[in-house]
Amino acid sequence: MANERKFFVGGNWKLNGDRQSIDGIIQFLNAGPLDENTEVVVSPPAIYLDYVKSKLGASVATSAQNCYKLSKGAFTGENSAAMAKDVGATWVILGHSERRHVFGETDELIGEKVKHVLSEGLGVIACIGEKLEEREANQTNDVVFRQTKSIAANISDWSRVVLAYEPVWAIGTGKTATPDQAQQVHKDLREWLAQNVSAEVAKACRIIYGGSVSAGNCRELATKGDVDGFLVGGASLKPDFVQIINARKA
């Protein structure tokens, strides 16, 4: 079943990069070689989207890290999906834990953003995940199902949606969910989609894992049947990212 879903690897650069370091990243991505069976997307800071798109080879797409729920207006400091699209981006990351927990974005707002971005014709990498205290209280499924419900309520076309499960306790901490822990949550999410959306969506939707993915752990994670790729943070700034992209290649 997993083979029907194209492996998807996103690189979330977060608040990192300048032209000099970005040139280095583009150099190793363009040199590759990158597994042609993997869909690759990089997400630079908005201010560099145009620059990155102009230098990257055609096999790597670009994504905004966030955007607002409207296309224009008096929203100082925000960017819109239309602007991202105008400079060649084809995806937007929404609901990342840093947006939720550092900037206070609610499930409701994230849902509204998902609806808007899809209406603009872009794809959405929608992030969900629990905090450490929630996992320790056995609330993982409660949290990720609640977050997914707010996202799912705003989606009519699932073909342009990738779900990214990112346990907050594993992001940038060096801790990674074990491959079995990741697989279990992905499997539970797929069952939730089957029951609450449709069996077709559950089968086709790519659920990717994020949380301290590295060249050292990516291959084992990639063997799990419900892990359809990765959303990579810090490691996407380094040449190791090529190995992560190629995690499924023999």
Tell me the average pLDDT of the chain: 96
Position 197: which residue type?
A: V
With bands split at pLDDT 50, 70 and 90, how would you rate the model's confidence at 248? very high
The fraction of the chain above a pLDDT of 90, given in percent, is 94
205 found inside a domain: yes
pLDDT at 1: 40
Burial class (CB in 10 A: 0-12, 13-18, 19+), 224: middle
- Residue pair 126/150 in contact (Cβ under 8 Å)? The answer is no
Residues 76-97: what's their mean pLDDT? 98
67 found inside a domain: yes
The catalytic residues are: 96, 166
250 found inside a domain: no
The number of folded domains in the chain is 1
Tens-place pLDDT, residues 195-206: 999 999 999 999
57 found inside a domain: yes
Phi and psi dihedrals of 183, rounded to 5? Answer: -60, -40
Q: Does the structure show a pLDDT above 50 at 2?
A: no
pLDDT at 173: 80
- Residue pair 199/1 in contact (Cβ under 8 Å)? The answer is no
The fraction of the chain above a pLDDT of 70, given in percent, is 99
Domain that holds residue 29: 2-245
* CATH value at residue 141: 3.20.20.70
Kindly provide the b/e burial profile for residues 41-73, where b requires at least 16 CB atoms within 10 angstroms of the residue's own CB: bbbbbbebbbbbbeebeeebbbbbbbbbbeeee
16 found inside a domain: yes
90 found inside a domain: yes
183 found inside a domain: yes
Which residues have CB under 8 Å from 95's CB, separation 6+?
A: 105, 110, 113, 114, 126, 127, 128, 147, 151
Nearest CA among 37, 57, 60, 61 for reference residue 246: 37
92 found inside a domain: yes
Please name the residue that has the structure tokens 């999410």. Answer: 189
The strand ranges marked E within 106-152 are 123-128
